Amino acid sequence: MDIGPVEHTVRGGANHNIQVLVRVRPPNSRELDQVSAVLRDRTKKCRTFPCAHPIASKSNATYSYDHVYDHDASQADIFESVGVPVTDAFLEGYHGCLIAYGQTGAGKTFTMQGPDEHTETDNISGDTGVMNAAEDPEQLGLIPRVLKRIFAHIESELAAAENKENARDVNIEKPELEFTVKCSYLEIYNETMADLLSDPGSAVQPNIREHDKKGVFVEGLTEASVQSAEETYDLFQRGSHNRRVGITEMNRESSRSHAVFTVNLESRRRAFAGAALQKRSALLHLVDLAGSERQKSTESAGVRLKEASAINKSLSALGNVIKALVDVSDGKDRHVPYRDSKLTFLLKEALGGKARCTLLACVSPAAGQIEETLSTLKFAQRAKLVKVTACKNEE
């Protein structure tokens, strides 16, 4: 799987900042008696304010983002602001990256996937619900909605080309149009990578490589050809069942790994016989990060404590990369430590390269979680300062 820049021409580059959105989830049953320490202020600001918690009592700050959503926001609302712009740019030939970030139990996986047949919508308390996205399409997360939009676009384009081909006007030449879609699914657990789409028992170990022309890519990773949104999401779900999860005090099904689901779209088109052949190739990375956590909150021990240490170390490396990229965006000469973790190396081109990048920060409203919430809000505000250059990949 290539994650770096393609070898052909990139066009239309323009500087823009990483888009940052914040989603404040509703309180769960264990938090109903806690004072809310986070407030959505109008449309683009998130405010923390003093309350009884010792950390929160000292916090009174306002953070600005591209969008802020409170617990009233639907999955469709999030998709319109987060998923649609990234997907449409991807369909035009731009690399894209959508990252869900936040503490464990803040709603990242629900936002990215929606509820599955087994897991709960109330992550922190561990309360289970019978909500099934297959029975309630309104609960579908970003990934299935993105896949539906991609294949709806492809079907529309192919239908338009077919209509031209079948037109009675003999002056209309037959167009050429072909789409190829592939997907891959990678897990990073304790700084070790796993191919979530590989056959059981496969001995192939994915490795991150960097090439002068190809950029960063993953060697030995399965790329499956797909023909529909349903087939693609079925592969995604099968891969997700192989992902590492564990029980913590904060979250009954806490993701213990980072997961990167990548869609690779290639198109070849010729408007009419004799016209130049136009080729486009773009990658869309859908990233569900393991949740940051504090040992005293999660009561981690043994294996869970080791996992938490690896997760926090990886997220710390991500924070250091963001800090360095902010300095670079300000014109400073800084080394960006992408190689400090597998995650940051994998996302090197997405974070600091030629991709449309969106960060979705998920937070809890509860005063008891204010320490992690403040950390997430500060990280998200810093990420908003990073400038990237999005380029269309075509020839």
Contact residues for 102 (Cβ-Cβ < 8 A; gap 6+): 108, 289, 291, 292, 361, 362, 363, 372, 376
Q: How far is CA 281 from CA 122, 230, 318, in A?
A: 39, 22, 27
Q: 103 a known binding residue?
A: yes
Q: What is the pLDDT of residues 208-256, one digit of tens each?
A: 999 887 788 999 999 999 999 999 999 999 999 888 654 444 444 446 7
pLDDT of 362:
95
The rounded percent of the chain whose pLDDT value lies above 90 is 49
- Provide the phi-psi class of 302: left if phi over 0, else alpha when psi is between -120 and 50, else beta: left
With a CB cutoff of 8 Å and minimum separation 6, the contacts of 222 are 184, 185, 195, 197, 198
**Residue-level pLDDT at 2:** 47
Under DSSP, the state recorded for 50 is -
pLDDT attached to residue 140: 95
Distance from C-alpha of 50 to C-alpha of 37, rounded to nearest angstrom? 7
CATH superfamily of 10-124+131-164+188-393: Kinesin motor domain (3.40.850.10)
* Residue 328 confidence (pLDDT): 93
Mean pLDDT computed over 30-46: 61
Quick one: pLDDT at residue 339? 95
Beta strands in 237-383 (DSSP E): 245-246, 254-255, 258-270, 278-288, 355-363
Rg (CA), the chain: 22
List all residues 6 or more positions away from 37 whose beta carbon is below 8 Å from its beta carbon: 48, 49, 51, 53, 56, 59, 365, 366, 367, 370, 373
Q: For 119, phi and psi rounded to 5 degrees?
A: -90, 170
107 annotated binding-site participant: yes
Task: Calculate the average pLDDT of the chain.
Answer: 81
Is 167's pLDDT higher than 60? no
pLDDT score, position 352: 84
Is 109 annotated in some ligand binding site? yes
Distance between CA atoms of residues 343 and 258, nearest Å? 8
What does the alpha-carbon distance between residue 289 and residue 104 come to, in Å, rounded to a whole number?
9
* DSSP SS3 for 338: helix
Question: Is 335 or 35 the better-scoring residue by pLDDT?
Answer: 335
pLDDT of 125 above 60: no
pLDDT at 358 (0 to 100) = 96
Say what the pLDDT of residue 291 is: 84
Q: What is the pLDDT of residue 245?
A: 59
**Residue 110: other Cβ atoms inside 10 A:** 25
130-152: average pLDDT: 82
pLDDT tens figures, 107-123: 998 999 998 654 444 44
Q: What percent of the chain has pLDDT over 70?
A: 73
Q: What value does the mean pLDDT take over residues 310-338?
A: 92
**Is 358 a known ligand-binding residue?**
no
State pLDDT tens for residues 263-319: 999 999 877 667 788 899 999 999 999 987 654 544 555 666 777 777 888 999 999
Give how far the C-alpha of residue 77 lies from the chain's centroid of Cα atoms, to the nearest Å. Answer: 16
Mean pLDDT of 48-64: 59
Name the E strands within 171-312.
176-189, 192-195, 207-211, 215-219, 224-226, 245-246, 254-255, 258-270, 278-288
Is 108 one of the annotated binding-site residues? yes
68 with 52: CB under 8 angstroms? no
Q: Please state, in angstroms and rounded to a whole number, the distance separating the CA atoms of residues 134 and 25.
A: 22
Q: Which has more confidence, 292 or 336?
A: 336
pLDDT at 173: 58
